[in-house]
Structures are given as C-alpha cells and as structure tokens.
Amino acid sequence: MSDKSRGAYWSANLRIISISLVIWALVSFGFAIILRPLLSGIPVGGTDLGFWFAQQGSILTFIVLIFNYTRYMNKLDHEFGVEE
C-alpha cells in the first residue's frame, strides 16, 4: 500500500469514526440529557420520548452504529485491498 493510498484510507476511516461519534454524542447527550425536557411531551410506548432515548433509544442507536461501522469498514477495506 503506497503512502498516498494509506493516507486516503486513514482519512476515510477517520471520517467514518467522526460521523459515528457525532451521532453518538447527539443521541446520548443531546436527546437523552440536554433535550429531554423538550422531548418530554411526545408520547412513545407509554412514556415520553426523552425518557425513551435515555433508556432504550441510545442503546439501540449504539447497536446500529456498531453494525454500520463494521459494514462501512469492510467496504473500505475491500476498496483499498486490505480485507482479511
């Protein structure tokens, strides 16, 4: 792998990680903590949306992030020829 393609690979890798971290922060801190009072008036499954994000939504979002990260990294590895 040349230095140029290695740099492009890590740039794409860091972009995927950055997007995942922004989504993680938005859901865990934004929706579950900071925006909880604004979301408390929206009913979801017998409780309010803010509580749902704090208890269930953030966990489900983290699981989706893990699967998306592995899917995008496998695609990126295949693109750059470094798959296992």
Confidence category of residue 70, pLDDT binned at 50, 70, 90: very high
Task: Identify which of 82, 78, 81, 69 has the alpha carbon closest to the alpha carbon of residue 13.
Answer: 69
For residue 82, give both structure tokens.
């470094």
Predicted TM-score of the model (pTM): 0.78
Q: Is residue 71 within a helix (H) or strand (E), and if so which, with residue range?
A: helix 58-80
Query: Could you report the per-residue pLDDT of 24-69, keeping only the tens digit for each?
Result: 999 888 887 888 888 888 888 888 888 887 888 888 999 999 999 9
Neighbours of 50 (CB within 10 A): 22
* Burial tier of 78 (Cβ tally within 10 Å: 0-12, 13-18, 19+): exposed
Phi, psi of 48 (to 5 degrees): -90, 160
